A = this chain, B = another copy of it.
Amino acid sequence: MGSDNHPTMAEVATLAGVSMATASRALSNAPGVAPDTRQRVLAAAQQLSYVVSPEASRLATGTTGRVAVVVPHISRWFFASLLEGLEAVLREADMDVLLYHVGDLHDRRDFFERLPARRKVDAVVVLAFPVDEEEQRRLALMGVAIIAAGGQHASYPYVCIDDFAAGRQAMDHLTFLGHRRIAMIETYDPDQPVPPAGRSQAYFAALADAGIEADPELVETTRWGGAEGAAAMDRLLSLREPPTAVYAHSDEVALGAMRSLRRAGLAVPGDISVIGIDDHPLAELTDLTTVHQPALGQGEIAGQIVLSTLRGDEIKRAVTVPTKLVIRGTTGPPRPRPDRASGR
């Protein structure tokens, strides 16, 4: 169990009848080696099934060939998809991905204090992970490139969607359908210092543009999650005058809201319309209207940014990918109300 006896480059060199220097050049296909000499070395390596020792090679060169990926959540679809896209392009470039899950504030503090990835990577990618100033200072200590994905960032190159625009796509769809009493289930992450506000601002802006006065009662703020979304919806339903439509910051939350509606015996979209953001795979299965965002794609672009940064290309510092409204079965025009206000 681990008693391996890897051949060394010296052995390969000997077998090929060359010096270590030449072997090294041939193996890393550096220039300045006669074609057939290179062949001989390669053959020898093959025969010994030789693999360079990364540690030794790294020690000598100073680069690691690794990038650290810091994620606040692993099992949520959006984050996992970002990670998947990122891993794909990094692996393509033969870089290894070191995974750091920083779930709660404790992990977070620990990560930035100990900087466990220090000296182990050439770059670090923070996935949908707002980094505050102090944390930025700590990261800077690592002396490597930092890239952000899935969220805008002031100090680092990044790729993300326009949260405000996405929110507007959702809200405008609702107002276009004729809804005027629209609720928002706004989410925040207690373990994130700075919640991105774009999706919330979009709510108020859309309302204003439609000439609708915002009613504070209609804004529910909760932690992210299906159960949380359900609870928020319950509260919304207990209002004297419940909304005719609900805009949730994410699909999972919207699905939670739908459970409450189902349990309350309300029809969707007959009684209430629901819209989310993300286009989670399960949104399609549940016929949820939503705003699509390319999660995998953002991860891939992040990977490209990492690569070009490392290469020193220094191009595209900020990429914003488009989102798209996907109308499915949970939104429709509001039911003409039995005129509860004026009647009787």
Contacts and interface: CB of A to CB of B under 8 A. Distances in A.
A72 to B, nearest CB: 11
A310 B230 CA distance: 45
A115 B4 CA distance: 15
Nearest to A118: B51
Contacts of A335: none
Interface in A117-169: 117-120, 122, 141-145
A84 B74 contact: yes
A119 B2 CA distance: 11
Interface stretch (A9-17, A250-258, A318-326): A250-258
Nearest to A80: B75
Interface string A279-318: 0011011110000000110000000000001101000000
Interface string A18-29: 000000000000
Contacts of A45: none
A286 B259 contact: yes
A115 B51 contact: yes
Chain A interface secondary structure, helix, strand, loop or mixed?
Answer: mixed
A329 to B, nearest CB: 9
A98 interface: yes
A13 to B, nearest CB: 18
A309 B1 contact: yes
Contacts of A101: 84, 87-88, 91
A80 to B, nearest CB: 4
A54 B2 contact: no
Contacts of A309: 1
A81 interface: yes
Contacts of A109: none
Interface in A87-101: 87-88, 91, 94, 96-101
Top 9 nearest A-B pairs (CB, nearest first) are A4-B143, A75-B80, A74-B84, A226-B285, A55-B58, A55-B59, A80-B80, A97-B99, A255-B285
30 contacts: A1-B145, A2-B145, A3-B143, A4-B143, A4-B144, A5-B143, A51-B118, A51-B119, A52-B119, A54-B120, A55-B64, A55-B119, A74-B80, A75-B81, A76-B80, A77-B77, A80-B80, A91-B101, A91-B116, A94-B116, A96-B116, A96-B120, A97-B98, A97-B99, A99-B99, A226-B281, A226-B282, A226-B285, A227-B285, A252-B285
Given A88-B101, A98-B99, A230-B285, 18 more contacts: A2-B122, A4-B142, A51-B115, A52-B119, A54-B120, A55-B55, A55-B56, A55-B58, A74-B80, A74-B81, A80-B80, A91-B116, A97-B99, A99-B99, A226-B281, A255-B286, A256-B285, A258-B285
